[in-house]
């Protein structure tokens, strides 16, 4: 099995509203020897206001944002073709489960492309951050980690592996590969364990077959070990396995009435721990947790007995499942004050997979000339795909759109970017505020002030284009 390592640089931290600006990918063999590299940068899309924090990290100038030889759609298509050509592989990113993978999925979705190409059809998602944390726990000599002010190890990629061009997509991908090699060479048992739980199906298979195992959870800057057994799956979040921390004797909970059981399950420290089967969490042999107190004092035999007693009590499983459903329903009732209106961009997970008719139309959409794609807009069964098609054409070939559609798209963009409320995307008022804040801190730095002026002028150009929309 080959490996693919990838990194993205974007306009900000929102996986829905921010845009991928740069992608770097490296294809390796099973021994992590490089077979091929691929990278591409695109221009910023029309109507996107970047977040200053992201620009400050990447060092992207206005020229970088606006003068690439490739449009965003060209980059997306090139990435898709490269991933297809590289075939079956384990795909790795650094903190990819929380950012890069959902960002790529939503980017593909908004581009009317199959959203899950990085974890379907022979590909599975892994996360080097999870691996190196676990490897460091098992073998502290795996990698040198700087320490935070609170005395915890720091796992930021640019702190683990000093490299030229940090926060450039290819530079970060190559640095990630070097970190992965350290785990591969010095903690291979952890590396192999990570491959066993790299997908949802794989994880579910492992946890249902192993009576006892060591679950790892990151809390307050440290990775912690728990000796657990798989108990049930969450009744609402079906990919969330509920594990029972065997520090707790289940027999003490069997005799509780429902009200007291509910209270016991919600207090801290947790009795039930969540293991997200779709997040490539690493599971180790239970012996890794047996060295920890109080598991060591309880002893392996008693822990195994507790697991057996728990699994034999089917009525108790039903009771706990019911309680978890109640807890979820209560949270929803408290949080929902009105129905939130979703934008088409936000509907990847909310609305699910496209129906066959729309899926076929998406394929046709990308085979047609841009001029002919306009005729397909109204043929989608779901409105979200029609709206996304309009925006795609607006971003790539605005001159071919009917004036009525152009006005509507520009108006929607204007409503978002001129908003004075706190939003999940970066607005123009927020971008100006970020720039002004940095000006006050860097007034004696001529180079920095010049860059801030360029950002300000760029924001003004966006404002000018959309102020009349």
Q: What is the pLDDT of residue 335?
A: 73
> Read out DSSP for 420-461?
-S--SS--HHHHHHHHHHHHHHSTT-HHHHHHHHHHHHHHHH
Q: What is the pLDDT of residue 249?
A: 97
How far, in Å, CA of 154 to CA of 358, rounded? 45
Over residues 357-384, the pLDDT tens digits come to: 999 999 999 999 999 999 999 999 999 9
155 and 290 belong to one structural domain: no
Would you place residue 388 in the very low, low, confident or very high pLDDT band (cuts 50, 70, 90)?
A: very high
378 and 444 belong to one structural domain: no
Q: What is the DSSP letter of 241?
A: E
Would you place residue 192 in the very low, low, confident or very high pLDDT band (cuts 50, 70, 90)?
A: very high
228 and 304 belong to one structural domain: yes
Percent of the chain with pLDDT over 90: 93
CA distances from 140 to 131, 154, 193 (A): 13, 13, 17
- Kindly report the CATH number assigned to the domain that includes residue 139: 3.30.420.10
Strand order, beta sheet including 272-276: 272-276, 240-245, 222-233, 213-219, 283-284
The last residue of a domain, from among 284, 308, 335? 335
Least confident stretch, 67-76, 158-167, 301-310, 387-396: 158-167
337 has a pLDDT exceeding 60 = no
Percent of the chain with pLDDT over 70: 99
The last residue of a domain, from among 267, 301, 335? 335
Query: What residue numbers bound the domain in which 291 lies?
Result: 199-335
314 and 398 belong to one structural domain: no
Helices 258-266 and 314-335: angle between axes, nearest 10 degrees: 70
* Integer Rg of the chain from CA: 25
What are the backbone dihedrals phi and psi of residue 29, each rounded to the nearest 5 degrees, phi first? -85, -175
pTM confidence score: 0.95
378 and 440 belong to one structural domain: no
How far, in Å, CA of 43 to CA of 70, rounded? 6
Q: What is the pLDDT of residue 254?
A: 97
Burial annotation 62-80 (CB, 10 A radius, 16+ → b, else e): bebbeebeeebbebbebbb
Q: Do 274 and 241 form a contact (C-beta atoms < 8 A)? A: yes
125 has a pLDDT exceeding 80 = yes
Q: How many residues can be counted in the chain?
A: 469
The last residue of a domain, from among 422, 442, 461? 422
204 and 99 belong to one structural domain: no
157 and 275 belong to one structural domain: no
Over residues 269-295, the pLDDT tens digits come to: 999 999 999 999 999 999 999 999 999
Pick the closest to residue 92 from 205, 223, 191, 224 (CA basis).
Answer: 191
What are the backbone dihedrals phi and psi of residue 113, each rounded to the nearest 5 degrees, phi first? -115, 160
418 and 435 belong to one structural domain: no
How far, in Å, CA of 103 to CA of 96, rounded? 9
Q: What is the pLDDT of residue 341?
A: 78
220 and 306 belong to one structural domain: yes
338 has a pLDDT exceeding 80 = no
Q: What is the pLDDT of residue 305?
A: 98
Number of domains into which the chain is organized: 4
Would you place residue 339 in the very low, low, confident or very high pLDDT band (cuts 50, 70, 90)?
A: low
Pick the closest to residue 101 from 241, 221, 279 (CA basis).
Answer: 279
Q: Do 389 and 345 form a contact (C-beta atoms < 8 A)? A: no
Over residues 33-76, the pLDDT tens digits come to: 999 999 999 999 999 999 999 999 999 999 999 999 999 999 99
Q: What is the pLDDT of residue 336?
A: 63
318 and 362 belong to one structural domain: no
Would you place residue 208 in the very low, low, confident or very high pLDDT band (cuts 50, 70, 90)?
A: very high
- CA 373-374-379 angle, to 5 degrees, is 85
Distance of CA 425 to the CA centre of its chain: 17
| Residue 322: burial class (beta carbons within 10 Å; 0-12, 13-18, 19+) | middle
Q: What is the pLDDT of residue 166?
A: 75
8 and 63 belong to one structural domain: yes
Q: Mean pLDDT for the chain?
A: 95
315 and 453 belong to one structural domain: no
Cis before 240? omega within 30:
no
Q: What is the pLDDT of residue 333?
A: 85
Q: What is the pLDDT of residue 133?
A: 97
CA distances from 221 to 111, 133, 148, 154, 264 (A): 37, 11, 9, 8, 26
């Amino acid at each position: 099995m080959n490996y693919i390592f990838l990194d993205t640089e974007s306009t900000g931290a929102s996986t829905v509203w921010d845009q991928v600006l740069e992608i770097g990918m490296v294809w390796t063999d099973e021994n992590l020897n490089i077979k091929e590299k691929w990278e591409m940068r695109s221009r910023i899309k029309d109507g996107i206001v970047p977040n200053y924090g992201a620009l400050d990290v990447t060092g992207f100038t206005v020229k970088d944002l606006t003068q690439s030889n490739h449009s965003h759609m060209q980059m997306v298509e090139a990435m898709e073709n490269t991933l297809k050509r590289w075939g079956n592989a384990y795909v790795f990113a650094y903190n990819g489960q929380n950012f890069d993978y959902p960002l790529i999925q939503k980017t593909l979705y908004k581009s009317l492309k199959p959203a899950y190409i990085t974890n379907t059809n022979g590909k599975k998602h892994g996360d080097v951050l999870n691996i190196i944390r676990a490897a460091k726990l098992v073998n502290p000599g795996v990698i040198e980690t700087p320490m935070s002010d609170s005395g915890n190890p720091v796992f930021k990629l640019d702190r683990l592996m000093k490299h030229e061009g940090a926060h450039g997509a290819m530079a970060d991908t190559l640095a990630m590969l070097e970190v992965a090699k350290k785990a591969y060479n010095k903690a291979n048992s952890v590396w192999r364990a990570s491959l066993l739980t790299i997908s949802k199906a794989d994880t579910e298979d492992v946890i249902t077959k192993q009576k006892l195992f060591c679950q790892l959870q990151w809390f307050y800057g440290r990775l912690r070990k728990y000796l657990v057994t798989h108990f049930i799956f969450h009744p609402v979040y079906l990919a969330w396995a509920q594990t029972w921390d065997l520090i707790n004797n289940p027999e003490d909970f069997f005799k509780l009435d429902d009200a007291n059981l509910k209270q016991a399950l919600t207090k801290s420290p947790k009795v039930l721990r969540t293991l997200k089967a779709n997040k490539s969490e690493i599971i180790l042999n239970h012996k890794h947790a047996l060295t920890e107190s109080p598991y060591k004092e309880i002893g392996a035999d008693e822990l195994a007995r507790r697991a057996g007693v728990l699994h034999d009590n089917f009525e108790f499983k039903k009771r706990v499942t019911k309680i978890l459903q109640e807890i979820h329903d209560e949270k929803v009732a408290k949080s929902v004050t009105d129905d939130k209106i979703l934008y088409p961009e936000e509907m990847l997970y909310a609305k699910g997979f496209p129906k066959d008719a729309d899926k076929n139309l998406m394929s046709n959409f990308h085979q047609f000339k841009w001029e002919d794609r306009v005729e397909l807009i109204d043929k989608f069964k779901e409105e979200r795909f029609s709206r996304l098609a309009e925006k795609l054409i607006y971003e790539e070939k605005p001159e071919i759109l009917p004036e009525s559609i152009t006005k509507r798209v520009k108006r929607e963009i204007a409503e978002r970017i001129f908003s004075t409320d706190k939003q999940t995307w970066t607005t123009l008022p927020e971008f100006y505020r970020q720039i002004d804040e940095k000006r006050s801190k860097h007034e004696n730095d001529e180079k920095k002030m010049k860059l801030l002026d360029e950002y300000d002028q760029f924001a003004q150009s966006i404002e000018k284009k959309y102020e009349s929309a």
